[in-house]
Structure 1
């Protein structure tokens, strides 16, 4: 009930309500932004812009999902926009070298740490990285990812599968021993 009342206060442009929501979600959303932008100052900027956008468009929040899920989507989109704006040169990855694997097996050898997997994810080409991160780290499904990134679900699935293959290849090359 607290969240609904505070959101209603925000819809009435109540600054105290906005501050309550900000305090409730700022730490978690900062961690989310850091996973994408990798820089404290940039993450703070993205977070600030995300909250501004959320409060400006709070009328669009209908309560179909939790406020946190709605805000999370805004933060991820702001992170992606920020990273795209910082990208000066794009190197196109040749997709023909990556076969599409049709399995749902994401297992790796026990010796591989989460930190190593996250580091390898950062080496993925951008079009695969965001889909893989949103699927593995944020827990979004194909439908949600395709909506956020403005992709078809088929493209989303293909990028996830190719990203998975590329990730396993990166881990194998680093002798982390990904299983197939």
Structure 2
């Protein structure tokens, strides 16, 4: 069955079509939730809520983006909402002191593993971690990040720049054992 047909059946509340769509996307969306929540039970709960929300709102899906991208945005938003409820969210920055980030400069020292980068991202302050994760790992642009996190695009760029600098510093410390 084609994706479009499947989605149309879901719009008609066809449970079999919903289950098929769920099975197609549940593993990938679980990985997205785990990157944010780091806890299997929380990720499963948020994933379940995300699919319920998606099926409730599926009539709003207009195929302007892929269904997976539309669903991923719901999952990311639900994760952030979950973290906000747990008071694990970032504080807004005063935009009067903001600088623009150079988004193309993501070079790190040779020999640093992907796992080390992921661990360093996890150690970032919340206000930087989400922007770095959404930009670097999830592939969102600043307009999308500003909508998801309800911050300005300028704040997104600044938090990305500061997060990137803290990430570099953290990786340098991990590599050398001391600050340089």
Shift of residue 158, structure 1, vs aligned partner: 0.8
2-side partners of 1:103 and 1:32: how far apart? 22
Q: Which residue of 1 aligns with 2:68?
A: 68
2-side partners of 1:88 and 1:126: how far apart? 7
Q: How many residues align?
A: 175
Q: Which residue of 1 aligns with 2:32?
A: 32
Q: Which runs of 5+ in 2 are unaligned?
A: none
2-side partners of 1:150 and 1:34: how far apart? 22
Q: Which runs of 5+ in 1 are unaligned?
A: none
Shift of residue 140, structure 1, vs aligned partner: 1.0
- TM-score, scaled relative to structure 2: 0.88
Q: Which residue of 1 aligns with 2:23?
A: 23
Q: SS of the counterpart of 2:175?
A: coil
Q: Which residue of 2 aligns with 1:123?
A: 123
CA deviation digits over 1:133-161, x for unaligned, max 9?
01111111111111211222111111111
Q: Check conservation: 1:7, 1:17, Cα contact below 8 A.
A: yes
- Measured on the aligned residues, the alpha-carbon RMSD in Å equals 2.6
**For 1:135-146, what aligned pairs fall within 5 Å after superposition?**
135-146=135-146
Distance 1:166 1:146, change over 3 A: same
Q: SS of the counterpart of 2:3?
A: helix
Q: Which residue of 2 aligns with 1:151?
A: 151
Are positions 1:132 and 2:118 aligned together?
Answer: no
Q: SS of the counterpart of 2:82?
A: helix
Q: Which residue of 2 aligns with 1:54?
A: 54
Shift of residue 16, structure 1, vs aligned partner: 0.8
1-side partners of 2:24 and 2:173: how far apart? 42
Q: Check conservation: 2:89, 2:126, Cα contact below 8 A.
A: no
Shift of residue 4, structure 1, vs aligned partner: 0.8
